[in-house]
A and B are shown apart, each in its own frame.
Chain A
Amino acid sequence: MTATKRITIKATRFDPDKDEKPRLQTYEIPFSDDSMVVLDALNYIKGHVDGSLSYRWSCRMGICGSCGMMVDGVPKLTCNAFLRDHWPRPITVEPLNNFPVIRDLVIDMDDFMHKLKAIKPWVIRKQPVPLGGGAFVQTTAQIDEFRQFSQCINCMLCYAACPVYGLNNEFLGPAAIALARRYNVDSRDEGLGQRLPVLADAEGVWECSFVGECSVVCPKGVDPAKAIQQTKLDTTMRFVLPFGNRD
């Protein structure tokens, strides 16, 4: 074993009861294994240096969506942001941009939870379908229509990357619109007509001016920018072709 390398982590600290504004605190920790990620570094700090550092995490395999933070200014899942890509430079870890901060690296994402509900993210049928009839028939090609939009893990990286959301928090935002599209183009769903009023609202798809950064930062290969532009087309078609829409 060679002497253990060390790496410097600068993490945002903020306790609303004590601090007026966030500050960066510097920690130097052992970088003992090349497989270590930023989340491992935070866990080391919390476990062995300073137990008061607060952040969210769970699955550490890039699927639960808890551990999104700004890593050197870029929104990332800290569970797959490797230390070796930064060492020997220090790494700055901050809470996701564009959200109110509750504490340290923990953001308040209730706004998204309300928006998620607003777009009615469930299968809407005009008539209830009895279970006894069995499963719907759906071809792989039909699944391919919505597959990528169903991969959203609600990690909020796209909201942190979206300057439109940063300037106007009323904007429905990338993930919510991608999930609306996930249901709108599902062959089992008949709810387009119910979702379009929310999507076509002033704070809906038309607020997007196509920066495209949401799709760049998405860790799951979702292209919310595409969902938004396609939904713009949907709302337009509905406006110009009153008889031509399906709902």
Chain B
Amino acid sequence: MDPTSYDVLIIGGGLAGIRAAIAVAETNPRLKIGMVSKVYPMRSHTVSAEGGAAAVLSKDDSYDTHAFDTIKGSDYLADQDVVEAFVREAPLEVVQMEHWGCPWSRNADGTVAVRPFGGMTTWRTVFAADKSGFHMLHTVFQTSLKYDQIHRHDEAFVTKLLVENSRCVGVTAIDVRSGQMYAITAKATILATGGLGRIYAFTTNGNICTGDGMALAYRAGVPLKDMEMVQFHPTGLPFTGILITEAVRGEGGYLLNNQGERFLKRYVPNKMELGPRDIISRAMTTEFEEGRGFEGPHGKYMHLDVRHLGEATIDRRLPFMRELGREFVGIDIVKDPIPVRPVMHYMMGGVDADISGATLMKGLYAAGECANVGLNGANRLGSNSLSECLVFGAAAGRAAAEQVGSLAAAGANPIEAMLKDETKRVEGGFLDKKGGDERIAEIREDMQHSMDEGAGVYRTKEGLTELTRRLDGFRERFERIKIDDSSRVFNTELTAAIELGFMLDCAVAVAHSALAREESRGAHARRDFPERNDEKYLKHTIAHHTEAGPRLEYRDVTLGKFEPKARAY
């Protein structure tokens, strides 16, 4: 089997990517499937998801309420046809995961249990204790091993999408172990590269979340959608940014300010700790500003208190939280409150894709966090993203599998030439580059802190303008980077440099999209425009890549049975 040519090529080995690979294999067992990942698939950041996956499973629940919760949570920026399809598919995917062996937590009668989650009006989040993402990722990864037609390229770093006659025909990649550049061709390519949290300094995201897929598509001419919509999770551990799951509040934990007061009564009185993430993060920020936060060595924080839940519940439902508290903070959450503060967590925006994951470029699909299929709008509800990876990973896999039957493989000649050009760019631009004086880490840290300051929980015109100016400066500095490591073998400085380039492109798209949206909607909160403006901005921001910076367009949101209303909880 030729390891450089596939019917369907998947970039990314997280939950969406692996789910897509399995969907391709099950749709058409004869297809050759390639899966490229810059890390071993079980290292993918899905592994850090904790709380669970939302799906309508109980008789008391309905598709309509899940759809409405999602749309209201999105501040009406979700495409309602996409949400309707999503809520119907999610339960099937959850059962599929169960059949593949996912150890979902159970009720006393052995049926799959659900827990409450922020912004959901009823209990519909299935979970595997507080390691849901870990168990789901290992379950799909281990299940994928039974399909011999899924051929993995572990630790291969994709540098560019290959485009021929405005169709995506594969990628160029660095085999990290040997340093060799090579081309992988495919009739269809699915991007499932995850998020971009590392453009921020204080984030729950792992080192690998550098927006690779978004930047790859963006540079190839596929627009990015709603990039201003960045989710801040209310409960991250100070210093490390380690996520403390929303399930802690779902199980009954309290958020307390320095007066020992459940301050959310002033912000989301009907939902309290189970309000949506954007509103709670803003509430915490307001409390900090008004002097009601605790002061610590790593900034202000609140207390997340689960002491009243008791040791038995904590050990059964939140064992990982206890472990994280013990190992990383030195507290026992059974006896001590957990210090938390808002932390960048998730990117609602992403590669502009439709309900089946298809992008505007032929042969290119996107799924999972790197995509924006229109599900999450301006604010994602907790536990919708794991379900999203399953539903839209599978959808993209099926759509790609069906499309490739009618397509011819890409010709070898232009591929050779494209590989040569890209090799020259990577080797000349980074490895063999002489005379640079900028350290990658310093530009990266400056970018991250600028993003924290300029595009955080609250934004202003001045802050965002300053951010775009600074980002231009970082891009100039990026041209002058210096690389210490000239070795070809496992050169992680080279990959970090390429990642920094990806992140800068994404950060610029975030800043410009945020500057242009002069309203407050969901996670995008402008101090200078505190109201939502449906007349002007009930629209998706579509950012196109140009040399001069993003060119923005707007596209109407697909509405449905839920009319936009004021969003109160």
Contacts and interface: CB of A to CB of B under 8 A. Distances in A.
- Is there direct touching of A and B in the complex, by C-beta distance under 8 Å? yes
Interface of A: 15-18, 33, 35, 46-48, 50-52, 54-66, 80, 102-104, 106, 108-109, 113, 116-117, 120-123, 129, 131, 134-140, 142-143, 146-147, 150-151, 153-154, 179, 183, 186, 188-189
B483 interface: yes
Interface in B32-81: 39-40, 42-45, 47-48
Given A47-B441, A123-B100, A137 B48 contact: no
Contact of B106 (A33, A64, A102, A138): A138
Contacts of B112: 135
A236 to B, nearest CB: 26
Interface string B517-556: 0000000000000000000000000000000000000000
B488 A117 contact: no
A51 B488 contact: no
Interface in B114-171: 131, 134-135, 138, 142-143, 145-146, 154
A140 B112 CA distance: 10
Nearest to A34: B297
Contacts of A134: 95
Band of interface residues on B? 35 or more
Nearest to A152: B138
Contact of A51 (B94, B100, B206, B485): B485
Contact of B96 (A56, A121, A131, A139): A131
Given A56-B39, A80-B327, A16 B48 contact: no
B491 A131 contact: no
Given A33-B239, A116-B142, A131-B99, A59 B47 contact: yes
Given A52-B485, A63-B320, A140-B105, 20 more contacts: A18-B487, A51-B441, A52-B484, A52-B491, A54-B490, A56-B39, A56-B492, A58-B39, A58-B207, A60-B206, A63-B131, A63-B134, A66-B39, A80-B327, A104-B490, A122-B101, A135-B99, A135-B112, A138-B110, A153-B47
Contacts of A62: 323-324, 327-328
Contacts of B208: 58
B222 interface: no
B206 A59 contact: yes
10 contacts: A46-B441, A54-B491, A59-B45, A59-B207, A65-B43, A102-B490, A122-B101, A135-B99, A153-B47, A183-B101
A94 B101 CA distance: 36
A188 B486 CA distance: 51
A65 B43 CA distance: 7
B101 A188 contact: yes
A109 B297 CA distance: 39
Contacts of A47: 439-442, 444-445
B242 A61 contact: yes
A247 to B, nearest CB: 17
A207 to B, nearest CB: 23
Contacts of A58: 39, 43, 45, 206-208
Contact of A121 (B45, B142, B491): B142
Contacts of A186: 101
- The binding surface of chain A is classed by DSSP as loop
B493 interface: yes
5 residue pairs, one from A and one from B, having the closest CB atoms:
A47-B441, A52-B485, A51-B484, A137-B110, A103-B490
Contact of A35 (B131, B239, B439, B487): B239
Contacts of A57: 207
B109 interface: yes
A17 to B, nearest CB: 6
A16 B489 contact: yes
B493 A135 contact: no
Contacts of A109: 40
Contacts of B239: 33, 35
A150 to B, nearest CB: 6
B110 A51 contact: no
Given A61-B324, A139-B110, A102 B489 contact: yes
B104 interface: yes
Contacts of A188: 99, 101
B565 to A, nearest CB: 35
Interface string B403-435: 000000000000000000000000000000000
A183 B39 CA distance: 25
B493 A51 contact: yes
Given A61-B324, A122-B100, A183-B101, A143 B106 contact: yes
Nearest to B484: A51
A61 B48 contact: yes
Contacts of B479: none
Given A35-B240, A59-B47, A143 B98 contact: no
A17 B146 contact: no
Nearest to A125: B99
Given A47-B441, A50-B484, A153-B134, A135 B489 contact: no
A154 B439 contact: no
